[in-house]
A = this chain, B = another copy of it.
Amino acid sequence: MSTKVLDIGQAVLQKNQGLADSLRAEFRAKGVFVLNVVSSPGSGKTELLAKTLDVIASEVPTGVIVGDLATDRDAARLEGRGAGVLQVNTDGYCHLEANMVREAVDRLGIEGLRLLIIENVGNLVCPSTHDLGEEMRVVLLSVTEGEDKPLKYPGIFKSSHLALVTKTDIGEAVGWDRETALANIRAVAPQIEILEVSARKGEGMDAWIGFLRKALAGHGPS
């Protein structure tokens, strides 16, 4: 007797996809460029975004939606950097869904924004299948997480436009095998661009900000 299998997630995901598509159409119509930033917990999303806001929020009107299981610690770290910040508590949901972004966008207000950054909940699984209507997905991989992560979580790399290797300043201390890691990223996600940064030390931040400026310049109201 063969194993009986029930595919059950598709209907739920299709509903999310429909809502994400309509969000994307709205973002484009309003000229808001939307980033969905995903990674494991502790990969340095908030530190990267704090340093990014310090530069970019004075150049273009920027909003941030921060998803978290609970607490507003991440949002508090992003306050006072020139961007409107809304913390979304998912109450135990390990990822954001398009309906949550819909509600958050209505609450935050995106009229006049040029850039909206969504910091997803720390998780390498569910965010990969949940489109939030973003224009670009950025996956962070810190040097402390191990070179095999792209092979173990291919979905999130396959679905991202850019991989940001973070915490490069401690790569040597933790024995980060850079060549293997980059090869693994490229093996699962040939389409992806790769940048390497240390938000703390500033290494590579110019390239990342330049990447962001270029993306913004190429994205006007539709």
Residues of A at the B interface (CB closer than 8 Å) are 1, 3-10, 12-13, 69, 72, 75-76, 79, 85-95, 100, 103-104, 107-108, 123, 125-126, 128-130, 155
Contact = CB atoms under 8 A, between A and B. Distances in A.
B4 A94 contact: no
B4 A86 contact: yes
A90 B94 CA distance: 15
Nearest to A73: B3
Contacts of A85: 3-4
A90 B8 CA distance: 6
The prevalent SS among residues of A at the interface is mixed
Contacts of A1: 79
A93 B6 contact: no
Given A1-B79, A79-B1, A94-B94, A89 B7 contact: yes
Contacts of A79: 1, 3
A129 B5 contact: no
Contact of A123 (B86, B125, B129): B125
Contacts of A125: 69, 92, 94, 123
The listed residue with most B CB atoms (<10 A of its CB), out of A8, A91, A93, A126, is A8
Contacts of A13: 91-93
B8 A103 contact: yes
